[in-house]
Amino acid sequence: MSEPLLQVDGITKRFGGLTAVDDVGFSLEPGTITALIGPNGAGKSTLFHCVSGFIRPDGGTVRFNGRGVSRRSAHGRAQLGMVRTFQIPTAFNRLTVFENVELAARDQPADRLVGALVPGLGRLRRSAIRTRTNDLLETFGLADKADDLAGELSGGQRKLLEFARVLMTEPQLLLLDEPLAGVNPALGERLFAHVNRLRSDHGMTFLFVEHDIRTVMDHSDRVLVMAQGALIADGDPETVRRDPAVVEAYLGGGE
C-alpha cells in the first residue's frame, strides 16, 4: 500500500487541566475529501493548529508526504504543500482583494528582500501570477471587488477570499476550518464544486471542519468525529451517521 499523504499519530494537547486534543491519530490518502465534525469545543481547531504547526502539541507526530514534519515551523509545513485556513477568516485588511490573493503565490523572486533589491526581477513570473489571481477571483465571485480593500468585505466574502488565497499557494493538502461559515449557500455549493474539481484534476486532498450535517454527507468521502478531544468515529458518512457513539456525543454533549 502506498504511503498516506498525511499521517497523524498520538497528537495530544493540554491547556492547563483541560485536554483539548487527546491522543488523536488518523491518516489521509491522496485525493480524498474528509470531513472532521464534532460538537463545539471538541478540539477540532486545536487539532488543526497542531497538525499545521501553529501550536506545539504536548505529544504526537505528524508525517506529510512520507517525511516527519513535527519539528517544522508552520510556514515550513505550508511550503511543503500542507496549507490551512482559519475558523475566523483572516484577511490583510489594508491590502486590496487582488493583492491579498496575489501575494500568496509561491516562488516570487521579488517577495524576498534580496530579490526586491534587483529591479525587474521576476517580471515574467509576476504576469503569470496576475493571470492566476484573476482566474481565482473570477471563480469565487470576487472579480468585481478586486480593487476594494479586503477590510470592506463581508464575513462570507472573507472566507472565500481566504480560500482563493490558499489555493494560490498550490497546496497538496488543504485543511479548511469551517470554510462555509457565513458563506451564502449558493456560493458554498460553488466552493465545493471547485473542491471536487481540484480533487479530480489535480489530485488535491482536503480535510474540512463543518457543522452542517447535510454538507458533510453530500461532499465528503469519509468522516472523522471528535468529542471532548478524542477521535470517537471514523468511516464513510452513512456509517458514521448511524454510529450510536456519534449520536450520543451530539445529543449528550450538552451542546
Partner 1 sequence: MELLAEIGPWGAVATVAGIYAIFAMGLQVQVGHGGVDNFGQVAFFLIGAYASTILVEQHGMGLVAGTLAGMAIAMVAAVIVALPTLRLRGDFLAITTLAFGEILRNVAVNERGLTKGSAGIDAFTFRIDIVRELRRSLRDQDILVDRLAPLLILTWVLVLVVALVTWLLLRTPWGRVLRAVREDDAAVRALGKNAFAYRAQAMALGAAWAALAGTLYAWNQVHFSPSGFEPIVTFAGFVIIIAAGLGTIWGTVLMAILIQGVLIEGSRYWLDTGLPNAQEASLRYMVVGLALMLIVRFRPQGLFGSRAEMAAADE
Binding site for ligand ATP (CB under 6 A): 15, 18, 20, 38, 40-46, 87
Name the nearest CA neighbour of 162 among 103, 80, 246. Answer: 103
What are the grid coordinates assigned to 114, written together? 534580496
Comparing CA positions, the residue from 157, 150, 56 lying closest to residue 104 is 150
Residue where the block lists cell 502506498: 2
Number of residues that bind partner 1 (CB under 8 A): 38
Q: Which residue is nearest to Mg ion (CB)?
A: 45
Query: Interface residues for partner 1 in 35-64 (CB under 8 A)?
Result: 52, 54
From CA 90, how far away is CA 41, in angstroms rounded?
21
Decide if 147 contacts 96 (C-beta within 8 A): yes
Q: Which CB, 12 or 134, lies closer to Mg ion?
A: 12
Minimum Å gap between C-beta 44 and ligand ATP is 3
With beta carbons less than 8 A apart as the criterion, state whether 136 and 164 touch. yes
Q: Is there a contact between 92 and 152 (Cβ–Cβ < 8 Å)?
A: no
Which three cell numbers, joined as nine digits, stand for 199? 480533487
Nearer to partner 1 by Cβ, of 160 and 246: the residue is: 160
Classify each residue of 11-36 as buried b or exposed e, where b means 16 or more C-beta atoms within 10 Å of its C-beta.
bbbeeeeebbbbebebebebbbbbbb
The residue ranges that bind Mg ion (CB under 5 A) are 44-45, 87
State which residue, 102 or 177, has the beta carbon closest to Mg ion. 177
Q: Which does 41 bind (CB under 5 to 8 A by kind): Mg ion, ligand ATP, partner 1, none?
A: ligand ATP
Kindly state whether residue 90 participates in binding partner 1, applying the rule CB under 8 A. Answer: yes
Residues in region 146-165 near partner 1 by CB under 8 A:
151, 162, 165
186 part of the interface to partner 1, by CB under 8 A: no
Site residues for partner 1 per CB under 8 A: 52, 54, 73-76, 78-79, 83-86, 90-95, 99, 103-104, 106, 108, 110-113, 115-117, 122, 126, 151, 162, 165-166, 168-169
